[in-house]
Chains A and B, each alone.
Chain A
Amino acid sequence: MPLNAEHEIHKRRRSRNVGLGLVLVAFVALVFGLTVVKVQQGDMLEAFDHQPRVSELPGEEPRP
């Protein structure tokens, strides 16, 4: 019997690692998809950023 024989326990561990890997990949895809949809819908394009935003300032009168 070779020394690198795979024990049943390694099979269980691999199923956990592969499973978690797939979950993480799916999560990345999910967040990416959500981002695309949210941006397309125009939600929250201007978040709070600690200074007055151009769109909130009163429009300047054109000078003569």
Chain B
Amino acid sequence: MTDINTYEGAPEAEFRDFVALLKPRVMSLVVFTAFVGLLVAPVDVHPFIAFCSVLFIALGGGASGALNMWYDADIDAVMRRTQDRPIPAGRIEGGAALSLGLILAGFAVMMLGLAANWFAAGFLAFTIFFYAVVYTIWLKRWTPQNIVIGGAAGAFPPMIGWACATGGISIESLLMFALIFFWTPPHFWALALFMKSDYHNAKVPMLTVTHGRPATRRHIFAYTLVLAPFAIWLGLTSVGGPVYLAASIVLNALFIHGGWQILRRSEETAVADGYAVEKRVFKLSLYYLFLHFTALLVQHWTGGW
């Protein structure tokens, strides 16, 4: 052995470990929805300002991701899905993630204020606070409704994008919020149905654990019903149009049908076929959101009502 390792135990992170702290996959959703929110707004924004605005919104989202990973490192270490994250894997120290999150958050808010406007910047600051403090620190370990409230944080980006262009809030941006807000619970609960033991081991109060799986199935179906009118209503506003409305009706019919199938299944049949329906509905929910926002884009380019 010719190597002498003097850094035993001291983490020496690579650059990509810091990138992983920002949750790039969550960021991609933030980028897409914020971009759509900004583009469909009735005020034209210079393309470079639009690019910068979306970038700073994404950085703000990344900052809240880093803060979340700092606070949740103990949970992440227990769950199989998150064990490889930089902090539980020992590649980055918790304090480094905390300072990266705080600095990046302040930076993203300041730069968004300078690039777009201070209303959008304040909105971004509120979103980061909501995700990092209200959701991660306060509610996630306390109530099985954590997913519902956490969903609000994920639903703000299109509103921030809209605010970058218009400097305010309107019915269209509120409905885009509602679309993501009511979509999140059925999406995550479908996941929780087939990712069985993970949350339980981490002692995170998931609905599947606290109220049982049949109750979770009922909740999923109920939320697909609540979601549909908001999604379709968005099609009747100034950003809607025939393309969006047609896509939305089809997607909501499929999603409600999926929720109904989940509701009607007993745990035995689900175990017997390896949660095939739950997995299918989870995948459908991803397409549901992506295609709704894609339809908004297409509608914007082809002209609305």
Does A associate with B in a complex? yes
Q: Is A19 a contact of B18 with CB atoms below 8 Å?
A: yes
8 Å CB contact of B15 from A7, A19, A33, A37: A19
Q: Is B52 a contact of A12 with CB atoms below 8 Å?
A: no
CB of B43 closer than 8 Å to a CB of A: no
Stretch of B6-14, B64-72, B137-145, B227-235 contacting A (4+ beta carbons < 8 Å): B6-14
Q: A7-B3, A34-B114, A34-B115 are in contact. Are A16 and B15 (CB under 8 A)?
A: yes
Q: How far is the CA of A20 from the CA of B18 in the complex (A)?
A: 10
Q: How many residues of A contact B (CB 8 A)?
A: 15
CB of A30 closer than 8 Å to a CB of B: yes
List of A residues within 8 angstroms of B13 by Cβ = 12, 16
Question: Would you give the 0/1 interface string for A1-23, flagging 1 where the beta carbon is closer than 8 Å to chain B?
Answer: 10000010100110110111000
Question: Would you give the 0/1 interface string for B48-92, flagging 1 where the beta carbon is closer than 8 Å to chain A?
Answer: 110010010000000000000000000000000000000000000
Q: How many residues of B contact A (CB 8 A)?
A: 18
Q: How far is the CA of A7 from the CA of B8 in the complex (A)?
A: 13
CB of B46 closer than 8 Å to a CB of A: yes
Q: Is A16 a contact of B52 with CB atoms below 8 Å?
A: no
Segment 27-56 of A: residues with Cβ below 8 Å from B: 30, 33-34, 37, 41
Q: Is A18 a contact of B52 with CB atoms below 8 Å?
A: no
8 Å CB contact of A41 from B16, B46, B114: B46
8 Å CB contact of A16 from B14, B48, B49, B55: B14
8 Å CB contact of A30 from B5, B7, B16, B52: B52
A: residues with CB less than 8 A from B are 1, 7, 9, 12-13, 15-16, 18-20, 30, 33-34, 37, 41
